[in-house]
Structure formats: structure tokens, C-alpha cells
Amino acid sequence: MAANKKLMLLPGDGIGPEVVREARRVAEWMGKRRRASFEITEGLIGGAAFDAHGSPLSDETLAAAKAADAVLLGAVGGPKWNEVPYEKRPEAGLLRIRKEMDLFANLRPALVFSPLVGASSLKPELVSGLDIVIVRELVGGIYFGRPRGIETLPDGTRRGVNTQVYTTREIDRVARVGFELAMKRHRRLCSVDKANVMESGVLWREVVQQIGEDDFPEVELGHMYADNCAMQLVRNPKQFDVILTDNLFGDILSDCAAMLTGSLGMLPSASLGAPDPAGRRAALYEPVHGSAPDIAGRDLANPLATVLSFAMMLRYSFDMAEDAGLIEAAVERVLARGVRTADIMQPGMTKVSTRGMGEALIVELDRLAA
Ligand code: IPM
Ligand code: MG
């Protein structure tokens, strides 16, 4: 039996608790049926934490997350907290945990499962077999830059300010994650910026180009402007292997890439810190989708993005690639059997609830492990 792996669950708001519950079920299955044992704890984040103690992320929860080997997060936010001041909003809790754990590299794969080709809004030939990864810088850029705020000018008009800022060190460390990932895949990296209008983009491009020339000559490196990249993603997404980009562009382009696969409900993500000398790295895994307040609590949400985020955890934090593959295979087979949550429902398929999808997965995992 492998040593206990400390797994912290932060279900959050909206559909978060429902989808994390199904991922927990898979984690417990892993504990019973495979050589893995997880010590699972839970905490509050987002609006749920704000309601409980007036802050979207308490210091205690943050400390527990830092002490865990990996964190699995559901989603944060909802209209209930619309009037809450900016620094206490649910989203502020998510930004804070990313920042405080220094999770600078956000990996967002967009993979089309073949049974879902028809669920994409793009033509099947454009998306079948699609397998790309966006590496998004996650703790810098305009979401964190200073100065920021809303001020009132002497003439009474108000001014909102945010600052896009990147240092060479910040660009360097995320770029290396992109290159290393490309080396393990098809060795193609497309770095995305707006160097035509932003100095931070000029610097981004220079640093990435230099790292490519010096340290990753085997990787075919290209550069693209962010607006063009958005267009290319819907025109011909299979031209990409790994896309490397900043926080803002990565936020936007990853929603776009996610939708190519048919549903935001399918897309996992990993947010990683720098490895320490022992090779351990802070890590938080979460579905790309949000808290979907409109369907929260109704057992309708698709838990697959969260389950696949747990699979990414096995691969990146626990070196359990085989078990990660098992989960991914179970997802593929459940979909091939026509089991669908509402978001990916197609004519002639069987519609199931969040729980129903979790149960179907366990049945398939049992079969695969038999
Ligand atoms: C995401 C989300 C978050 C972000 C929000 C909820 C703060 O959109 O993870 O992409 O902007 O990063
Ligand atoms: Mg987003």
C-alpha cells in the first residue's frame, strides 16, 4: 500500500459540491480497488466560505490546502454574492489560493472524446481527434498587476484601472512548463500575445523565443496574436499542439477551446507550482466550468470535468499515470454506451443525473479493473 496521499476537497459553490462528490466517489474507489490510499479532508471556499465566516478563503483553509499533497476544487461564485465587495467576492478566494500557493502554470487540455464529436458546435471533421493543451500563466498579468482600482477624478468622473505586467522571471518559468509539455507531446508550441500593441507582449515574445532557441531547439515554436488565435481555434483547431499564453488571454482562449469539445462540462485543469528539490509541487485541480447557479442543487450537472481533473491529479501529483488512464478509459466507455448528462445529451442517448453519471463510471471502472 502506497503512503497516504493527502487530498483536500474544496467543493465551493453552485454545482461544485455535486460534482466534487462524484470525484470523491472515484477517489474512494481508487482507494479500495487500486494500490492508493487517500486521506481526504474538506474545506470551504468562495461564497460558501464567505457565508460561514465572512471571507471567501480563510487562513486556516489556505494553510490546510498548502499542507495537502493536492487540492481538488469544484467551482466558486453565483448571483447570491453579486453585492459583496470585490475583495470578498467568491472569485477573490479562488484568485487568492492560486496566488498564495504560487500556482503559476495552469494546464487546460481540450480533448474531444470520439463519442462526443457530434456535441461540438463545429463540424465533426474539424474537431474529431482534437487534442490540444493550453498553458495559461495564472498568478501574474492584468488580474494581479498594480496599480488597480476605481478612483474618482477631481472633475467627478470615475476611472477604473488594471495593469498588465510581466517580468522576465514570470514569463520564463511558465514558458518552460509549456516547452517541457510540448516535448512530451508533438513538440509544437504556439506562444500567444499581443506584441503588436503591448510592451508586455513584446517582452513575452522575446523571452519565449530565447528559451526556445537556447534550451528547446527540438520544439517547433511559433508566435501568434491573441485575436488571431481565437479565430484559428474555431477555424482549424487541430493546427495546435500546446498553446502558451498569459493569464487574461488564457482565460478567454481556454473557454473557447473548451467549447470545441462539445461542453464546458468535460474539461479538466491542473494548476501547478514550481517543483521543490524533492520534486514535490503545489497543485490544485479544478474543472474549467463555473458554478452554474441556474442548475445548482438539481443533480443535473456533468461531473466528468471534475473526475477528469482528479485523473490529472493522479498523473501530475502522484505519478499514477496508469490509474489516470483507467479513469479516462472509463469516461470514454461510459460515453460510448450513450450515457449522457443534460449538457451533452444527444438524440437516442440515455439521460442521467450527476449521481447517475458517477454510478455509471464506477460500474465501468469495476469492469475495467476486473
Ligand atoms: C477561470 C475562471 C476564473 C478566472 C474566475 C472564476 C476568477 O474564469 O478559472 O477561468 O478568471 O481565472
Ligand atoms: Mg475563465
Tell me how far the alpha carbon of residue 105 lies from the centroid of ligand 2, in angstroms.
14
Calculate mean pLDDT across residues 213-234.
Answer: 98
Tell me how far the alpha carbon of residue 249 lies from the centroid of ligand 2, in angstroms.
10
Cβ of 251 below 6 Å from ligand 1: yes
pLDDT tens digit string along 302-311?
999 999 999 9
Annotated catalytic residue within 13, 69, 193, 251:
251
Q: Flag whether pLDDT at 2 surpasses 60.
A: no
CA separation (Å) from 183 to 204, 218, 241, 244, 327?
20, 8, 11, 13, 24
Tell me how far the alpha carbon of residue 247 lies from the centroid of ligand 1, in angstroms.
10
Distance from C-alpha of 206 to C-alpha of 53, rounded to nearest angstrom: 45
For ligand 1, atom 8, name the residue with the nearest CA.
251
Q: Flag whether pLDDT at 260 surpasses 80.
A: yes
Cβ of 94 below 6 Å from ligand 1: yes
Please report which confidence band the pLDDT of residue 21 belongs to, taking 50, 70 and 90 as the band edges.
Answer: very high
Cβ of 241 below 6 Å from ligand 1: no
Task: List the alpha helices (DSSP H) in the chain.
Answer: 16-33, 47-53, 59-67, 90-100, 124-127, 168-184, 199-215, 226-235, 247-260, 304-316, 321-336, 354-369
Please report which confidence band the pLDDT of residue 3 belongs to, taking 50, 70 and 90 as the band edges.
Answer: low
Specify the DSSP element, H or E, that contains 220: strand 220-225
CA separation (Å) from 118 to 53, 110, 125, 287, 301?
45, 15, 10, 22, 20
Cβ of 73 below 6 Å from ligand 1: no
Q: Flag whether pLDDT at 284 surpasses 90.
A: yes
Distance from C-alpha of 330 to C-alpha of 34, rounded to nearest angstrom: 15
Cβ of 364 below 6 Å from ligand 1: no
Fold that domain 1-107+265-370 belongs to in CATH = Isopropylmalate Dehydrogenase (3.40.718)
What is the percentage of the chain residues whose pLDDT exceeds 90?
A: 91
Q: Flag whether pLDDT at 1 surpasses 50.
A: no
Count of positions (residues) in the chain: 370
Q: Flag whether pLDDT at 351 surpasses 80.
A: yes
285 tagged catalytic: no
Helix (H, G, I), strand (E, B) or coil at 287: coil
Please report which confidence band the pLDDT of residue 85 belongs to, taking 50, 70 and 90 as the band edges.
Answer: very high
Calculate mean pLDDT across residues 284-303.
Answer: 96
Please report which confidence band the pLDDT of residue 66 belongs to, taking 50, 70 and 90 as the band edges.
Answer: very high
Calculate mean pLDDT across residues 57-73.
Answer: 98
- Nearest atom of ligand 1 to the alpha carbon of 251: 10
Annotated catalytic residue within 69, 143, 193, 316:
143
For ligand 1, atom 4, name the residue with the nearest CA.
251
Calculate mean pLDDT across residues 110-121.
Answer: 90
For ligand 1, atom 5, name the residue with the nearest CA.
91
For ligand 1, atom 10, name the residue with the nearest CA.
251
Annotated catalytic residue within 194, 246, 323, 343:
194
Q: Could you tell me which residue, 319 or 194, shows the higher pLDDT?
A: 194
For ligand 1, pick from 87, 94, 108, 291 the residue to mutate: most ligand atoms within 8 Å of CB.
94
194 tagged catalytic: yes
Calculate mean pLDDT across residues 61-87.
Answer: 97
For ligand 1, atom 11, name the residue with the nearest CA.
251
- Closest ligand to C-alpha of residue 138 is 1
Tell me how far the alpha carbon of residue 337 lies from the centroid of ligand 2, in angstroms.
31
Annotated catalytic residue within 102, 131, 255, 299:
255
Distance from C-alpha of 356 to C-alpha of 58, rounded to nearest angstrom: 33
Q: Flag whether pLDDT at 191 surpasses 80.
A: yes
Fold that domain 131-260 belongs to in CATH = Isopropylmalate Dehydrogenase (3.40.718)
Residue type, 40: I
Please report which confidence band the pLDDT of residue 279 belongs to, taking 50, 70 and 90 as the band edges.
Answer: confident
Q: Flag whether pLDDT at 56 surpasses 90.
A: yes
For ligand 1, pick from 87, 95, 136 the residue to mutate: most ligand atoms within 8 Å of CB.
95
Q: Flag whether pLDDT at 106 surpasses 50.
A: yes
For the chain, the domains span 1-107+265-370, 131-260
Cβ of 91 below 6 Å from ligand 1: yes
69 tagged catalytic: no
- Closest ligand to C-alpha of residue 73 is 1
Tell me how far the alpha carbon of residue 216 lies from the centroid of ligand 2, in angstroms.
29
What is the percentage of the chain residues whose pLDDT exceeds 70?
A: 99
